[in-house]
Structure formats: C-alpha cells, structure tokens
Structure 1
Amino acid sequence: MEAESIQSLTPLLQQADQWREVLLLLPLLVALEAVLSADNAIALAAIARGLEDPARQRQALNLGLALALVFRLGLIVAAQWVLNFWPLQLAAAGYLLWLCGRHLVLVWSGGDADPAAAAGAAGAGSGEHGSLHHAGLGSIVVTLALTDLAFSLDSVAAAVAVSDRLLLVMAGGVIGVIALRLTAELFIRWLEVYQHLETAGYLAVGLVGIRLLLRLGLPQVVPPEWLLLVLVAALFVWGFSVRSPQLEPPAEP
C-alpha cells in the first residue's frame, strides 16, 4: 500500500532540487508511513502477541524490526534487481495471502487465531506447525522480519524509483521501521480490546497480497489505489466496531 501513495508524491519529489526542499517533505512521508503501514503493523502485533509476556513482546518487536531494517536497507541497495525479479515478488504475495488465509481458517474452525504457521515458515519447513503461543523468541523474531520483508518489496522499489538520493531513501526506510515499532506495540493493546480487529487486519493483509499478485499476472485488472484505501479503511472501521465481551463495562443494575 505504501508504494502507490509514495508514487503519488513523485511530482513533488522531482521538483525538490535542493536537499532542504526534500527535507520539508519528510514530515509528510512520515505521516504517510505511519497511516498506511497499519495493515503491516497489525500483522506484526498479532505475531508478537504470541509471546504472552509483554516484556518478551517488546523484545521480539525490537529484535525483529532491527532485522527487518537490515532487510529493508538491503532491498534499497538491490532495488533494481528486485523490480525485475518477479519470483521474489510472487513469493511475497503468496506469503501475505497465506497469512490471511490461515488466520481465516483458524477463525472459521474455532481455533486459536494467531499466525502460528508463520513461525514454521521461518525455519526449514514441516508439515504441521504449532501455535505461536508455544514458539520460541527466535522463531518469532525471524517471522516478524520476514513479514515486514514481504510488505516492503513493493514500497522499497517504488521509493528508489522516485528518488535517486540513496541516503534519503534509506532514511525513509529507517523512519518506516520506527513507525512500525510504535504502531505495532499500540496494536498489541488494541487487539485485546477490539474483537474483530485482528481479523480486519489480516483481511487487509490479504488485499495487499491480492493486489501484488494481480500486478504481477494481470496488471490490466489491478484495482485503483483509492479503492484499496477505501476497502482497508472500511475493514478497520469494522475492526474497531466491537469491544471484546470480557472488557465491556458491567451493566447498570
């Protein structure tokens, strides 16, 4: 999602011939990153929530997003290769769709709706993966980094395409990871409060995966950016619409 919105700023960035003019755009880029990374942040929050200890959740987010930052900076350096290597983008789309689909299957089957299999994807792979509530810190850290990597492929490639200032693009990557760290911890708390928020977030993840898949195979039928934003906004309105029953205030006698 971030990539298309960054591309809409291309005319502004192209007019910014001086560094100080580019720096004036940084607050806007930060705001965009914070708002448009909500679907990424909720997926990361759901993964980190598998560690029930809040201190370990924070530790997993810190380590996972530090590793994610290394991946992002590597993608920035190799952006032109990423643009032309469709199997990597296909793998990212498939991973996002898999996260969404597994969550929905767990919800519909009445199981524990956490992204458990993501931990298994970080390893060598096996037939049946356990719940993240029983996964180790290391596997969750790697899962967090891989999930952010899947979200980052498109946005990093687009950011490099609209600016040839490598340091500025890297600064944007650092800002994006910091924004994700802050919003993911906030979403961990909200996931405990709002009953449908986790499912809404994973549906948004699925939309991003579908859009990326369409761009690879059927670019002529890719839905416009505004439609995706409207759908994601509607999902989050639904996600915040119902509080968890155990957190509802007691009824008045």
Structure 2
Amino acid sequence: MEAESIPSLSPLIQAADQWGELLVLLPLLVALEAVLSADNAIALAAISRRLHDPKLQGQALNLGLGLALVFRLVLIAAAQWVLDFWPLQLLAAGYLLWLCVTNLRQADAEDDEPADDSSAEAAQTGLSGVVVTLALTDLAFSLDSVAAAVAVSDNLLLVMTGGVLGVVALRLTSGLFIRWLEVYTRLEAAGYLAVGLVGIRLLLRLAAPQVVPPEWALLGIVALLFAWGFSNRVSDAEAEG
C-alpha cells in the first residue's frame, strides 16, 4: 500500500504538481510511505532473514530494492497497459497469496522442529535468489498502487518521485523489521497475513470491484494485525538462549 493509493490524499498530491510545493510536502510523503508500506516491508524483511548473515541481509535488500525501483519506474511508464492487462494483476494476486500461505505453513513446521541453519533449504537459499524474490514481491505489491498514483497526477516525474520515495521508505522500514522480527514472535505471521489481505484485495478488484472494501477499512484491518504482531515479545532468557 502506498501514499498515492489513498483517495483522500489525492487533492493534496494534485496540488503539489508544482515542484516548489512538492519540496514542502516531501517529508510528509516520506513519512506516509514509511507507514503505509509496513505490510510490504515486513514481507521483504522476512524474506531477507533467510540469509541469516546480517551483512548479506543488507546487501540483499539494497540489490533487491534497487531492482524493484527499476520495475516500479517501468510500471509507472506503462501504467495504462498495466491497468488494462488483467492477467498480470491476477498473477500478482496469486503470487501474494502463495507467499502468504507457504510462509505461514513453513513457520508452523519450524515451530514443530528444532531449528537447523545447515538444512538443505538454508543451503539452497542464495543471495541471488533472495534478491529476485524481493524484487518480485515488491512488484506484486506495486501493481495496484502504481495505477492509483498515475490516476492522481498526470505529472510523470512527480509520480516517479513518489515511486523512488516508496523504495527509500521500504529500505528503511525493512531494516527495522529485520530486528523486530527477532524480538516479536507473532510479527512475521501478522506481516504475511497482511500480504494475503493485499492479494485478496487484488482478486476482488478483478472479479468483484463493487465489493472491494474502502481504504480506511483495509488500513484498520492491517493496524489490528500489526497490533497482534507486536503483542508477544521474546523474553530476555529466550533471547539469550
């Protein structure tokens, strides 16, 4: 979810089509992007954690979001085609739902088995695979918001600036979530449930747009999910162990 996709912000962003006014709004837009992209950021953070090494995690986020930025700019330039090409949106919805279900099932399996960082799965997960997964995940999240952003403003450079800000905000918040995922035991599950919610929303937009919930309802559900995610913290004894 991006700042540009919130209808109530449309007049504000449209009024900022002049670059001088945009500079005044940049701090607000960055803050909004950081808050509204939390569901995307936690998924990216969880994917990056597969590498285990903090240095590789940071490198994967830098490379993956760099590639994601290229994808976003291409999407913005081809937004009208993206809006009309429903198979791509269906594929994105399916990918987000697959990401949600497989990772929630994997988390349940890991709870039942002792952790083993030398497992075959960990060995097969390389930097390049994580980078590609990060870029594809952000691409799936971006399809809906890019079309909304172009509808808000016909200033292509302005919309591209919003895309760049979104990626910068994602990089900052993903780094925070990597640390928080080590502390809050329910946070990863909450993030993937939010990912599934975005996938369902994309499906509804395609199959039954008249029943798509309003933005405030979606934000409320995501807020409740994250409140639950932050509700259980690892004890100091468990953290040391």
Structure 1 and Structure 2 fold alike (TM over 0.5): yes
Q: State how far apart, in whole Å, the 1-side matches of 2:157 and 2:47 are.
A: 31
2:9 matched residue in structure 1: 9
Contact in 2 for aligned 1:196/1:239 (Cα 8 Å): yes
Paired AA for residue 211 in structure 1: R
SS of residue paired to 1:223: coil
Contact in 2 for aligned 1:3/1:154 (Cα 8 Å): no
Tell me: CA distance 1:191–1:68, structure 2 relative to 1, closer, same or farther (3 Å). Answer: same
Identical positions, percent: 74
Q: TM-score, normalised by structure 2?
A: 0.90
User: Residues 134-190 of structure 1, C-alpha deviation per residue, up to 9 Å, x if partnerless?
Assistant: 311111100000000000111111111111111111111111111111111110111
Q: TM-score, normalised by structure 1?
A: 0.86
2:152 matched residue in structure 1: 162
Tell me: CA distance 1:132–1:95, structure 2 relative to 1, closer, same or farther (3 Å). Answer: farther
Answer yes or no: is 1:86 the counterpart of 2:86: yes
Trace 1:24-43 onto structure 2 (pairs within 5 A): 24-43=24-43
2:56 matched residue in structure 1: 56
2:173 matched residue in structure 1: 183
SS of residue paired to 2:182: helix
Contact in 1 for aligned 2:3/2:33 (Cα 8 Å): no
Answer yes or no: is 1:172 the counterpart of 2:162: yes
Contact in 2 for aligned 1:45/1:188 (Cα 8 Å): yes
Paired AA for residue 187 in structure 1: F
Contact in 2 for aligned 1:195/1:242 (Cα 8 Å): yes
Trace 1:1-253 onto structure 2 (pairs within 5 A): 1-2=1-2, 5-16=5-16, 18-110=18-110, 131=121, 134-245=124-235
User: Residues 6-25 of structure 1, C-alpha deviation per residue, up to 9 Å, x if partnerless?
Assistant: 43222223344533223323
Task: Give the Å deviation of 1:30.
Answer: 1.4
Q: Which has the higher helix share?
A: 2
SS of residue paired to 1:97: helix
Q: State how far apart, in whole Å, the 1-side matches of 2:61 and 2:176 are.
A: 12
Task: Give the Å deviation of 1:132.
Answer: 5.1
Taking only aligned residues, the RMSD between alpha carbons, in angstroms, comes to: 2.1
Stretches of structure 1 lacking an aligned partner (at least 5 in a row) = 114-129
2:117 matched residue in structure 1: none
Number of residues of Structure 1 aligned to a counterpart in Structure 2: 234
Tell me: CA distance 1:247–1:175, structure 2 relative to 1, closer, same or farther (3 Å). Answer: farther
Contact in 2 for aligned 1:106/1:112 (Cα 8 Å): no
Tell me: CA distance 1:136–1:168, structure 2 relative to 1, closer, same or farther (3 Å). Answer: same
Tell me: CA distance 1:57–1:140, structure 2 relative to 1, closer, same or farther (3 Å). Answer: same
SS of residue paired to 1:143: helix
Contact in 2 for aligned 1:132/1:140 (Cα 8 Å): no
Task: Give the Å deviation of 1:245.
Answer: 4.2
User: Residues 185-230 of structure 1, C-alpha deviation per residue, up to 9 Å, x if partnerless?
Assistant: 1101110010000000000111111111101101111111111111
Q: State how far apart, in whole Å, the 2-side matches of 1:219 and 1:132 are.
A: 40
